[in-house]
Structure 1
Amino acid sequence: MTTLSLRPISMRKKCLRTLYLTHRWLGLTMGVLMLSWCLSGIVMLWRPWPTPIAGTELVGHAPLLLPPSLPMVPSLMEPGSRFQSFRLGMVGAEPVLTLFPVTGTPFAVDLRTGQTSSIPFQGASINAQAYAALLGVQNAPVFDGITTDDQWVLDTPAHQQGFERFRFPGPARLVVYVSPVTGDVVQATDKVSRAWAWVGAIPHWLYPAVLRRHPPVWKTVVIVLSGAGIFLTVTGLFIGCLCLRRRWPFSAYRRWHLVHHFFGMLFGILALSWITTGFLTMTPAGLFASNKDRLDPVHVTGSISGSELQLLLERIATHRTTGWIDIRGVFLDGRIFLAITDGKGHRERLDDNLTPTPLETSTLGQSARLLTTPDSYYFNRSTHPRHFPVIRLIADNGVLFYVDAQTGAVQAAFDTPARYSRWFVYGPHDINFLPWLRTASARLWVVFPLLSGVFVLYLVGMVIGIRRFILLWRKTRSS
């Protein structure tokens, strides 16, 4: 009878010892990565991923100068061709039409010839130099080729088509990327922003280009490592609860182990939340994955045939466009809206007869609401600045769309998985549920202390692991 009662106790001790050893050695293996995630998260509170200065996408664009008569554009005459939006502007000395087809990738058309072509680097360099001048860089740009997988454009929309890269000699080491389709500055970095990214966003997202160039491999690596981090934290919380006492000092540990135990009980759940939500951002097994087809702006904008668009372009060409630098056309509820921007940044909306026409919310259905301030889904983030006012509406497919009330362009879209992800993944991960949590003061007085507590938790755990490893190494050498 005594033997039978001792066997479960012995098995329990064996399981607990295995758990302790697994936690210890996994912590030593994962410690550097966990510390890196915490430290880089702190850096990203104030130094996010490099992005161009907001509102400078039109810098360098000259006033629109269309030819007296527009050539026939073969791309518009193709049978069955339909487009959901278009754009007119100057790139260098060339008038360029950018077309956004319902299917396929956007492309540029030289309006002097009507032929599809990429914007030459001479025209793009003018826009790059104008952007550099905003930063006080006066040196001439050096064309550095077209890149699709540069470290700094791997997450920039439309990077698969390639961007023209310009380097500016000088102490800032500025690099500007220009779209060969629109002529816009789509990315810009200097030596300071790149340095901060290497200690912030890149280690936090495991984003070195050598890995990120292979999305399936990158996703698998992040899932495996964050999964190991979840296991490490769960076992630590379990061990911590087992070692709690009912009386002071409430812990069976001393010195470094006591600090680790104390911070684990205080910040362990928060650490688990951050790692788990980081794991879920990778949509493992399709969890919280959005349907890209449902998010397509065409569900709101509709489309227009190429022949109809050719007639509209000819009507625009005969109109007085003095001072206009950008014309954007969108199609909403079967109607055409033109958003005109002049050289002073003023915007005006016209209909297809080039008559000033406001964009009413009623045009977009009963669910449409005008927003002048952020709501729970549409708000500024470090890498996604938002424009106001916008019109929020629910499309027939149930997707929540946000339409720029000035240009009519779709700014954001959230289907059901994306809305769930907002509350169960990105909300806990970024701690931005409420508007005041998105302020600079909240980052300093709420998020920073919490991240620092998690950092100390993993730092002390790493110290304990290293001390244990050194002790075992010394015993092995002495024996």
Structure 2
Amino acid sequence: MKRYLYLWHRWLGIVACLFMALWFISGVVMLYVGYPKLTPAEHLAHLPDLVLDDESVGLEHVLRAADARQPPSSIRLTTVAGAPRYILEYPGLRKVAVDALSGLVPPAVGPVEALAAARQFAPGVAVEDRGAVSEDMWSLSRGLDADRPLHRVAIADAERRLLYVSASSGEVVRDATASERGWNWIGAWLHWLYPLRGIGIDGAWGPIVTYLSLAATLMTVLGLAVGVLRWRFKRTYRNGSHSPYQGFARWHHLGGMLFGVLAITWIFSGLMSMNPWKIFSSAQPLSVAAYQGAPLSAAAFPLSAAQALRRFADDGLQARELEWRMIGGQGYVIGHDGAGRTRILSMAEDQVLRRFNPGTLQQAAWAIRPQQPMLVQQLAAYDFYYYAREPQSMMGHMQQRLPVLRVCFDDPAQTWLHLDLYTGAVVGQLDQPRRASRWLFALLHSWDWLPLLANRPLWDLWMLLFSAGGLLISVSGVVLGWRRLGRSLRPRRG
């Protein structure tokens, strides 16, 4: 039995250690340079202040021009290529843009419009059309599917950005700086095995990554077992060491004994990031449609966009984007400025608010499961399940403001909602499977643990030290594995 343990570890390691080495190297890069994305803060910072007069079309005209058979899931008013434009999003990855001045759906976005959008994003710098793509190495995110195809524009700013402009809305939806593009070749692009995408096997990408991670996890567990069996705890071998090995083999053995448990947690949590076999997917996810109380319609918003802008300006907010929301059957317009500050214009109360009354959001949430027990907490500080990360991290684009309202339902999956008091948005939905993912992926993989995150550079030292340990195990394993493979393939002499 022990012989098979050694053999399985050896032959799994010949392939798996190579991928583990790549994962540890690229993982260190990803600590500080993430996959390119345009965060909400970056989006707002590169918009001009909204300018609109009373001659602009009303919301009823906008909804009619969109010509949709169902109400939109969101409505925004922003500035695209120097002109105000409504962006309506619908279920099923569909976006419709409507010009706020003419009330017409603009023609398909072409190179000229894409260049104009880029000039708005970075005024006063040279721009260059790089052609349209459906998908390339910096735009693989599924969150961009409603915007494809994407027009690429290079801008000659200090960071030499490559911008991606949505063909459906005309907005800049992604930027990739030269630094991000350079580091990502050995960062996220390598870590997520993106070289396997776009070569005709996209459908197999997920299973390949999942089963490679599973094989690496099994190999590391077997390696730790072998390491413990070969380690003499009370006495030494003839070489004076508790390990019988020499050279790379000794480094591999010592590294495994010191860092093996952490290596297992990292590889296993990487496997969990793929949501293998849908273990973190809810069988019956809680529908939050009732939270709106009514579909988005023009009747719920008697004030025009121009009037809303003036109301926000009177309250000290120079809005760069407006957002229409239905919460508990009432209409609200949310104004966003360039620094991410918000104001709320209540249609029912006809006044500008800094934050929602918690009771308003609580009452709207109660409609999701009426007559059922519901626990409500207002969080004034981050905790294990609600916290913020740096913008370059995988979830760094999510705005996690405080205070926030946590609503806990007594449904079969014990679902929690996090409700943003500044916008009324549902910024998080956690049920039992997703809370399990928080433990098995986020905690074990990136050590999202508040005592570490709140004490930088302690978190950095922890991650770098143990990444070096994992790299020691995997690189020494690559050397040993390929040496063994070379001996096995060498012709035997008679």
Q: One fold, TM greater than 0.5?
A: yes
Provide Cα deviations, 1:226-280, integer angstroms capped at 9, x if missing partner: 1211221122122222212231333333333222222112211211111112112
For 1:16-415, list aligned pairs within 5 A. 16-52=2-38, 55-58=41-44, 59-66=46-53, 68=55, 70=57, 72-73=61-62, 75=64, 81-101=70-90, 105-117=94-106, 120=109, 122=112, 124-132=114-122, 139-155=125-141, 157-162=143-148, 163-168=150-155, 173-180=160-167, 184-208=171-195, 210-211=197-198, 216-245=203-232, 246-248=234-236, 249-290=241-282, 294=285, 298-308=289-299, 312=301, 315-317=304-306, 321=310, 323-342=318-337, 346-352=341-347, 354-357=350-353, 358-365=355-362, 367-381=375-389, 382-385=393-396, 386-394=399-407, 398-415=414-431
RMSD of aligned residue pairs (Cα, Å): 3.3
Q: Which runs of 5+ in 2 are unaligned?
A: 363-373
Letter in 2 for 1:51: K
Question: After the TM superposition, which of the residue ranges 269-278 and 379-388 deviates more from structure 2?
Answer: 379-388
Deviation at 1:361, TM superposition (A): 0.9
SS in 2 for 1:70: coil
Letter in 2 for 1:338: V
Contact residue 163 and residue 172 of structure 2 kept, 8 A: yes
Deviation at 1:127, TM superposition (A): 4.3
Cα gap change, 1:447 to 1:255, in 2 (>3 Å): same
Provide Cα deviations, 1:293-338, integer angstroms capped at 9, x if missing partner: 83665353344253525xx266444566375432112122222221
Give me the TM-score of the superposition, normalised by structure 2.
0.81
Once residues 361 and 383 of structure 2 are traced to their aligned partners in structure 1, the CA distance between those partners, rounded to angstroms, is 19
Question: After the TM superposition, which of the residue ranges 451-460 and 66-75 deviates more from structure 2?
Answer: 66-75
Q: Which runs of 5+ in 1 are unaligned?
A: 1-14
Contact residue 326 and residue 340 of structure 1 kept, 8 A: yes
Per the alignment, residue 3 of structure 1 pairs with none
Once residues 108 and 488 of structure 2 are traced to their aligned partners in structure 1, the CA distance between those partners, rounded to angstroms, is 64
Contact residue 155 and residue 161 of structure 2 kept, 8 A: yes
Give me the TM-score of the superposition, normalised by structure 1.
0.83
Aligned residues: 457
Letter in 1 for 2:74: S
Identity %: 28
Cα gap change, 1:445 to 1:217, in 2 (>3 Å): same
Cα gap change, 1:278 to 1:343, in 2 (>3 Å): closer
Per the alignment, residue 455 of structure 1 pairs with 471
Once residues 483 and 87 of structure 2 are traced to their aligned partners in structure 1, the CA distance between those partners, rounded to angstroms, is 62
Contact residue 84 and residue 101 of structure 1 kept, 8 A: yes
Larger radius of gyration between Structure 1 and Structure 2 = 1
Once residues 256 and 318 of structure 1 are traced to their aligned partners in structure 2, the CA distance between those partners, rounded to angstroms, is 72
